Amino acid sequence: MFHSRLHSFSRLMISLTLALPLAAGLVGVAGSAKAQDRRQNTPGEFDFYVLSLSWSPSFCEEAAERGGRSQIQCGGRPYAFVVHGLWPQYENGFPEYCQRPSPRLNRNIVSSMLDLMPAPRLIFNEWDKHGTCSGLAPRAYFETVRKVRAQVKIPDAYLDPKQMLTVTPDEVEEAFVAANPGLARDAIAVTCDSRRLGEVRICVGKDLRFHDCAEVEQ
């Protein structure tokens, strides 16, 4: 699920001029597991979670460059980081789509999450692919998403950006580690392309404490 830290890029450009939200499903969904875990896709049987925080301006900038249809997340109030998802994870690999069909989501639950995940489609997709693997009922799963997000402090420089900022992936990691006591470099990964920040991914255990995860280093 994790990308490498991408130290090969000398500088990572983060567009901060338009702090707008990221569209569902475009950035960094899980890739193929290297080896299938014996518990593969058994709800509730996993080792830790990955909180994926997507950097909204990157998507909106890319969407504008493509000349595509305006996304719901790229209008209205500005966003910086939004929750892409909370993903159950094995020490090697990950489960997905653990219940087919997945239990239906109550619309009230969806509405309650729009402040963190500002696109209904994103919320439905994340529940189907990842939430069903948590072993939790829908409301309990999204309450867990909110708890994990609440304990991660976004560094001040990324809260209300007003101008273009150029940083390295290392600098992004360092900022999060400095802002979050107990968060180690082995528990965080940054994804990006050659110009733009994609996501910050942070591992937490089932106890919701920060958790070292070996795949960050791969």
What 3-state class would DSSP assign to 60?
helix
Token pair 């948590």: residue: 134
Specify which residues 14 forms β-bridges with: 165
Q: Which of 61, 62, 96, 126 is catalytic?
A: 126
- 4's tokens: 């490498």
* Cα distance between residue 55 and residue 16, in whole Å: 10
Question: With contact defined as beta carbons under 8 Å apart, do 39 and 186 qualify?
Answer: no
Q: Which of 62, 84, 199, 211 is catalytic?
A: 84
- 3's tokens: 């990308």
Provide CB contacts within 8 A for 46, sequence distance 6+.
39, 88, 89, 90, 94, 95, 133, 134
Annotation says 211 is catalytic = no
**DSSP assigned state of 38:** T
Annotation says 126 is catalytic = yes
Annotation says 84 is catalytic = yes
What 3-state class would DSSP assign to 112?
helix
CA 100 to centroid of chain Cα atoms? 23
Q: Which of 62, 130, 173, 199 is catalytic?
A: 130
Point out the residues that are catalytic: 84, 126, 130
